[in-house]
Amino acid sequence: MGKIRSDIAWSTADRIVVRGKSFPEEILGKMNLGDFAWLQLTGNVPTPQQSNVFNAIIVALVEHGLTPSAIVARMTYSCAPESLQAAVAAGLCGLGTNVVGSMEGAARYLSEALPKDAPADTDLEALAKQIVARFRQDRIPVPGLGHVIHKPIDPRTPRLFEIAKENGYSGRYIRLLQLVHVEAQRASGKNMPINATGVIGAISCELGFAWKITRGFGVMARAIGLVGHILEESQNPIAREVWSRTEEEATSHVRPEASKS
């Protein structure tokens, strides 16, 4: 038989211990939500600098407007208000390749090109050229670059770079992302911004996270955002209107004239 072991938390009748700390005495009322998320994920209390940077990147992922995820959560809530948790779950299901994939993709190529123990004199420009060349060869847009709405720059990007820098986390991964940006613009002849998820992917590497878990940052942040949308839906609903308009228009080409509104 294999082993079943978890090192996150344990409890007895009078104790609750999370990541080795007494939950009531050392955590509750002493750590904010972002800092506790860091502890939950890494097993360590963040430094003030880590706290600043980590809170910023998670905050940046909470609310992205009336996205498909938000519409999905609202529609699900309107049909099953007794299962609020299922409405959030439904909204999260869409946080895949076409949404948070950009963050994951950026973190992946940055960390794969530049392992933590890469020599100090690694030629980042050469790496950037290789990264861009490979994406161009595969005819895949470079993750972390470009934005449908935010042009010519994504307004979150300079602020995120600044936060990373102020806290000592503007290292080689951010530099490499910037070089990838320059090279991608040069090779394509097009202007495109570094988008927020690209920066967050790079910052995740700076903070030492594996690229595979970065999608989880988007998921935990968006869960908060979706609860906000569900609360608004309960007060000022839009789901039923979206439904009825969509259904009516979608079938107007086949329904008999008399039943059209």
**Residues numbered 99-118 forming contacts with a copy of itself, rule: CB under 8 A:** 99-100
| C-beta closer to a copy of itself: residue 154 or 183 | 154
| C-beta closer to a copy of itself: residue 128 or 230 | 230
Q: Considering only the stretches 106-114, 132-140, 159-167, 176-184, report the one whose residues sit in contact with a copy of itself under the rule CB under 8 A.
A: 159-167
C-alpha 203/C-alpha 174 separation (Å) is: 7
Q: How far is the CB of 199 from a copy of itself (least distance, A)?
A: 11
| Site residue total, a copy of itself (CB under 8 A) | 126
Q: How far is the CB of 5 from a copy of itself (least distance, A)?
A: 5
Structure-block tokens of residue 79: 């049909």
**Residues numbered 67-96 forming contacts with a copy of itself, rule: CB under 8 A:** 67-69, 71-72, 75-76, 78-96
**Exposed, middle or buried by CB within 10 Å (0-12, 13-18, 19+), for 201?**
buried
Q: How far is the CB of 118 from a copy of itself (least distance, A)?
A: 22
| C-beta closer to a copy of itself: residue 45 or 220 | 220
- Selected binder of a copy of itself within 128, 131, 160, 176 (CB under 8 A): 160
**Residues numbered 231-250 forming contacts with a copy of itself, rule: CB under 8 A:** 231-232, 234, 236, 238-243, 245-247, 249-250
Structure-block tokens of residue 54: 């980590």
- Taking alpha carbons only, the member of 95, 55, 53, 63 closest to residue 202 is 53
For position 255 contacting a copy of itself by CB under 8 A, the verdict is yes
Q: Where are the beta strands (DSSP E) in 30-145?
A: none
- Taking alpha carbons only, the member of 143, 259, 244 closest to residue 197 is 143
For position 198 contacting a copy of itself by CB under 8 A, the verdict is no
Range 228-241 burial, b when 16+ CB lie within 10 A, else e: ebbeebeeeebbee
For position 126 contacting a copy of itself by CB under 8 A, the verdict is no
For position 258 contacting a copy of itself by CB under 8 A, the verdict is yes
- Residue 100 · residue 219 · CB < 8 Å: yes
**Residues numbered 29-58 forming contacts with a copy of itself, rule: CB under 8 A:** 29, 31-37, 40-41, 51-52, 55-56, 58
**Residues numbered 1-30 forming contacts with a copy of itself, rule: CB under 8 A:** 1-18, 23-25, 27-29
Q: What are the respective helix, strand and coil percentages of the chain, to the nearest 5?
A: 60, 5, 35
What pairs with residue 10 in β-bridges?
17
- Selected binder of a copy of itself within 150, 171, 187, 188 (CB under 8 A): 150
* Strand 9-11, strand 21-22: pairing: unpaired
Neighbours of 1 (CB within 10 A): 3
Q: What are phi and psi of 81, to 5 degrees?
A: -65, -20
Q: How far is the CB of 185 from a copy of itself (least distance, A)?
A: 18
C-alpha 190/C-alpha 186 separation (Å) is: 7
